[in-house]
Structures are given as structure tokens and as C-alpha cells.
Amino acid sequence: MDPRIERIHRSANFVMEKLRVAGLQPTVGIVLGSGLGRLAEKIENPVVIPYKEIPGFPVSTAVGHKGNFIIGTLGGKTVIAMQGRIHYYEGYGMELVTLPIRVMQFVGIKYLFVSNAAGGVNYNLKVGDLMIIKDHINQLPNPLIGPNMDELGTRFPDMTRPYDPKLIALAKEIAAEKGIEVKEGVYYGGTGPTYETPAEYRYIRIIGGDATGMSTVPEVIVARHGGTPVFGMSVITNEAHDNYAEDYVNDGDDVVRAADAAAVKMTAIFEELVRRL
């Protein structure tokens, strides 16, 4: 058997046994980005599985990422949430960065929700805004490079609609009902861990990016490879412009604080979206 498949099976079997004992069957997977772990606190009757306990699983080392699977009830449905994701900049290869998504697919999720903290490259995006991701630009290594795992998906997945139009429409409807303003835009995924230079922010804006971050895109590619519909949302935590004041600096702690402040609105949308699936 392909060793990559063996790793997925080993990790997934451990998680599935925990779920079997708890009598849980998740239908929605959720990836929580920097400072967005608060949504996990809304999950009722949670079963917590630390990444470090899962065989073959990477451990998240990023600021604001706790490193747990949280399984329980949200919006009346059983969900499995990643309280902290794995990043390429942590030194993990793409096989490990996307392993949690493969595990969630093996567990049986029908939908994947992804979230992240991002810099607003578009001048119309301000700190605290919520941006529904309608498309992305990938500047990270593609996680499907290498021999295709045919049992998981096709060699050349279609990415015409990486983010599900029906889920986007439903999220916009929910936001309007709740009086929450949301923007839409294109997410640019870079490697990190440095924040971009002013010239790079200008470049991202010119090529069509609205927000920039260091994650998400590999997870979405793997989800689509496996046929899982995706909904994505960015919390704008800093204005990624190229006309800074002379004393301006990007600060990781500020990013987490801004994400935490906006997490309440994002949680409200995600919870109701889950409820209506």
C-alpha cells in the first residue's frame, strides 16, 4: 500500500475509534485559523483529541493554534473542528500539512469550512472585516504533486469553483439576516513565515488578490481532490498596504487579538450555516 495512504489510515483509524466510543459521526469539518479558536468553545459536549496523541500526526506550533480536534455539536449537527492548523512554514511537508483534511474525509465529513486570519491587501478591507473567499491564488507548493492517490481523487481536479457557490450564497443570506457585513474576495496563499514586503503587497493587489495569508489553499485543494464542498472565510487582521507610516510594524500578537475580536461574528455565521445544511 502507498505509505501516504497507510499514514492516513493509521491516523484516521485512531480518530474513528475515539468517535465510535463516543457515538459520534461528524458531517462537517471546520479548520480554525490564528486567533479563531473561540468557535471551538461553542461546540457542545466536546470530545477533545490532541494532535500529539494521533499516530503519524503533525503538531501545530503556530501562535494562537492549540492543536486539538474538537468533536461535538454545533448548530444541531456533529462537527469535527481543527483547533489550530498545520502550516508549511512550520517545516512540515504538504503531505503532513493536509493530513488532517484527509483524516476528516475518511471520518466521513460532507462539507469543509476553512477560516484564517489574513492581511487586507484590497484598500476596501479594514481590520475586523469578514471576507468570504470566492477564489484563491496559490503560491504554496501544490499538495497533489507526486504520484496521484487514485482511490482518493482524480489526477487533475477541476478548480473552476474551489469554494462552493451554494454555500457562499447561503452564508451571505445568513449574514444579511444577522446584520453582519461581509465582503467577498480572492485569497492569496503564500509560504510565510515572514509577512510580505510593501512591494509584495502591491504585487498581490495587482494580480488580483484581496487578502493574503500563509495557509488554507493546500487544505482546499485536498478537499476538492476528495470531492468535499468547501466554504472559506478570512478575518482581516491587518491592513496589508504599501503606504505605511514610518514606524509601522506587523505584529503576530496583534493579528491574534484582531482575529479574536472578529471571531464572534464569524462564529455566528458558521454556526447558522451548519444548522441549515
Q: Tell me the pLDDT tens digit for each residue of 156-188.
A: 999 999 999 999 999 999 999 999 999 999 999
Nearest of 39, 28, 123 to residue 80 by alpha carbon: 28
Q: Where does the pLDDT of residue 104 fall: very low under 50, low under 70, confident under 90, or very high at 90 and above?
A: very high
Of the listed ranges 32-41, 110-119, 248-257, the least confidently predicted one is 248-257
Q: How many angstroms separate the Cα of 205 from the Cα of each of 169, 233, 245? A: 25, 18, 19
Are 168 and 231 within 8 A, CB to CB? Answer: yes
SS3 8: helix
pLDDT at residue 39, rounded to an integer: 86
The proportion of the chain whose per-residue pLDDT surpasses 90, expressed as a percent, equals 81
Are 232 and 163 within 8 A, CB to CB? Answer: yes
Average pLDDT over residues 9-13: 97
The proportion of the chain whose per-residue pLDDT surpasses 70, expressed as a percent, equals 92
Q: Is the pLDDT of residue 64 over 60?
A: no
- Report the C-alpha gap between 133 and 115 in whole angstroms: 9
pLDDT at residue 252, rounded to an integer: 60
Nearest of 239, 257, 232, 21 to residue 127 by alpha carbon: 239
Average pLDDT over residues 73-81: 97
Q: Where does the pLDDT of residue 241 fall: very low under 50, low under 70, confident under 90, or very high at 90 and above?
A: confident
Average pLDDT over residues 100-111: 98
pLDDT at residue 247, rounded to an integer: 62
Instruction: Cell 447561503: give the residue.
Output: 170
Q: Where does the pLDDT of residue 264 fall: very low under 50, low under 70, confident under 90, or very high at 90 and above?
A: confident
Surface-to-core class of residue 243, CB atoms within 10 Å of its CB (0-12 exposed, 13-18 middle, 19+ buried)? exposed
Average pLDDT over residues 108-121: 96
pLDDT in tens, 184-231: 999 999 999 999 999 999 999 999 999 999 999 999 999 999 999 999
Instruction: Cell 466554504: give the residue.
Output: 231
Q: The pTM is what?
A: 0.94
Q: Where does the pLDDT of residue 38 fall: very low under 50, low under 70, confident under 90, or very high at 90 and above?
A: confident
Count CB atoms within 10 A of the CB of residue 56. 15
